[in-house]
Amino acid sequence: MIVRFPFLTKQSVRVIGVLVIFSVAWMSKPATALQLVKKPSPKKQSSQPKNFILIIGDGTGLAQWSALSAHYQYRAFAADSTHNLDIIQRDNVSVFSSFPVMGLSQTFSANNYITDSGAGGTALSSGQKTNNYAIGVNEKGEAIPSLATIAKNQNMATGIVVTCELTHATPAAFYAHQPKRSMMGDIAKDLYELNTIDVAIGGGYPYLKTFPFEQHNLIVDEINSKNYPTQLNNIDNGLSESGSMQRTILCYNKDTFPPKAHEGRAGYLERASVAAMRELKKQPNGYFLMIEGSQVDWACHENDSAYLMAEIIDLDNTIKAVLAEAKASGDETLIVVTADHETGGLTLPGWDKKNGCAKLSWSTHQHTGIPVPVFAYGPGSQSFTGVYQNVDVFKKIQTLLPKK
Ligand SMILES: [Zn+2]
């Protein structure tokens, strides 16, 4: 096949030829003294992560993240008398600005276009589409290994930090194998008996208290929401002061699940996540940690805009703290942020002048089938671009996990 370049005249070909010869000569000339003292180029980042953090905003679609960006942008707009929209839009965009890589994940389950958090969690944790309400089992009901199990088999440390019960569907998908998410007693038994998770922080005390975790060198502690500021320090201090990783289960309070972010819980997820990172990194082989902003989903089920904004600000603060901690610890951590599904069919049809925020309009009290964004940062993050299935999030992480 002859390829013609009509814009190339004989003269331009000659000019290009000279430029090519000059460039080749310049590139192959010996290094000069000037070049030798030149600052070394920044160390090339390894594409192999040591640690893996999967952050799941349950029910968090693009509209939920965009509502958060609108909130930040309005705040900046109000504070900046020049009202320079370029700066306001550039500097106030929640997680979008911090993550260089983005993809889209399709969330349907094996038996329903609309997934629940059991099948959605299992797809992310274990890489197989399963039936709604199933936890860590495939369509045939067979147990399938999760990222936490695979990491544990590589002598890595494992953790989960959530704002729901530790036995709730999403966290359960990382350590339990049960046909129905409602079997919380059996799920708690899996947490106790299978011993997959080293550090677990969240709610669910009523389900966990029946198992003697203490005898297995695990601490069941209580973070009392009434004495929140002092007790919160116990999250930081409650994890071990020793040089080696302490297997720990911390329960938020004696209730089933922790309160809402704007009813006394704000800040817990951020501090608990960083505390878990610091504990897990004592294990020299690296760690896998799943963090869930569980109540974004609950706010969206209720179509409660104030509840959603409080939860998503709390989740965004958590992501920022996790990023900062990962950067301060040598930047050898892959951080992936995604959702198991969108909830509420949220849209932003305009601007609410009175309240200074985007108008939030809901189309359902249930989950929807709209794809959810995936944000990735750190070594290995490049593989998360594109449009793929929720099970591919598992596969991409699994590919990067060390092999024996
Ligand atoms: Zn839900």
pLDDT digits over 36-66, tens only?
445 545 455 578 999 999 999 999 999 999 9
Question: What pLDDT sits at residue 2?
Answer: 40
pLDDT digits over 122-180, tens only?
999 999 999 999 999 999 999 999 999 999 999 999 999 999 999 999 999 999 999 99
Among 51-60, 208-217, 369-378, 390-399, the minimum mean pLDDT is found in 208-217
State in Å: Cα 341 to ligand 1 middle.
8
Question: What pLDDT sits at residue 7?
Answer: 39
Q: Which range of residues forms the domain containing residue 279?
A: 51-400
State in Å: Cα 96 to ligand 1 middle.
23
At 354, the pLDDT band (50, 70, 90 cuts) reads confident
Q: Is residue 178 part of a domain?
A: yes
Q: Which residues contact 394 (CB under 8 A, 6 or more apart)?
A: 123, 124, 125, 126, 127, 147
Question: What pLDDT sits at residue 16?
Answer: 43
d(CA 304, CA 379): 37
Structure tokens at 111: 């038996």
State in Å: Cα 218 to ligand 1 middle.
30
Q: 322: domain CATH number?
A: 3.40.720.10
State in Å: Cα 116 to ligand 1 middle.
6
Three-class secondary structure of residue 81 per DSSP = coil
Residue 131 near residue 150, CB atoms below 8 Å:
no
Q: Is residue 26 part of a domain?
A: no
Q: Is residue 181 part of a domain?
A: yes
Q: What does pTM read for this prediction?
A: 0.85
d(CA 305, CA 297): 12
State in Å: Cα 300 to ligand 1 middle.
8
State in Å: Cα 302 to ligand 1 middle.
10
Q: Is residue 17 part of a domain?
A: no
Question: What pLDDT sits at residue 221?
Answer: 59
Residue 130 near residue 122, CB atoms below 8 Å:
yes
Q: Is residue 321 part of a domain?
A: yes
Cα angle at 222 between 218 and 226, to 5 degrees?
A: 170
Residue 162 near residue 295, CB atoms below 8 Å:
no
Burial of 135 per CB tally in 10 Å (0-12, 13-18, 19+): buried
Give the mean pLDDT of 363-376.
Answer: 98
State in Å: Cα 269 to ligand 1 middle.
19
State in Å: Cα 343 to ligand 1 middle.
6
Q: Is residue 38 part of a domain?
A: no
Percent of the chain at pLDDT exceeding 70: 80
Please give the DSSP secondary-structure letter assigned to residue 285.
T
Give the mean pLDDT of 341-370.
Answer: 93
State in Å: Cα 121 to ligand 1 middle.
11
State in Å: Cα 367 to ligand 1 middle.
6
State in Å: Cα 298 to ligand 1 middle.
6
d(CA 142, CA 154): 22
Average pLDDT, the chain: 85
State in Å: Cα 61 to ligand 1 middle.
12
Please give the DSSP secondary-structure letter assigned to residue 157.
E
State in Å: Cα 215 to ligand 1 middle.
34
Question: What pLDDT sits at residue 241?
Answer: 72
Q: Is residue 210's pLDDT more than 80?
A: yes
d(CA 54, CA 242): 26
State in Å: Cα 182 to ligand 1 middle.
13
State in Å: Cα 293 to ligand 1 middle.
12
d(CA 116, CA 92): 32
State in Å: Cα 362 to ligand 1 middle.
14
State in Å: Cα 176 to ligand 1 middle.
19
State in Å: Cα 221 to ligand 1 middle.
27
Question: What pLDDT sits at residue 205?
Answer: 87
Which of 114, 161, 160, 105 is CA-nearest to residue 133?
A: 114
Structure tokens at 201: 């922080």
Burial of 24 per CB tally in 10 Å (0-12, 13-18, 19+): exposed
Residue 316 near residue 95, CB atoms below 8 Å:
yes
Give the mean pLDDT of 166-195.
Answer: 96
Number of domains the chain is built from: 1
State in Å: Cα 383 to ligand 1 middle.
28
State in Å: Cα 172 to ligand 1 middle.
14
Q: Is residue 340 part of a domain?
A: yes
Q: Is residue 373 part of a domain?
A: yes
- Higher pLDDT, residue 281 or 220: 281
Mark 356-375 as b/e (b = at least 16 C-beta within 10 Å): ebbebebeeeebbeebbbbb
Q: What is the full DSSP assignment across 30-72?
A: PPPHHHHTSPPPPPPPPSS-SEEEEEEETB--HHHHHHHHHHH
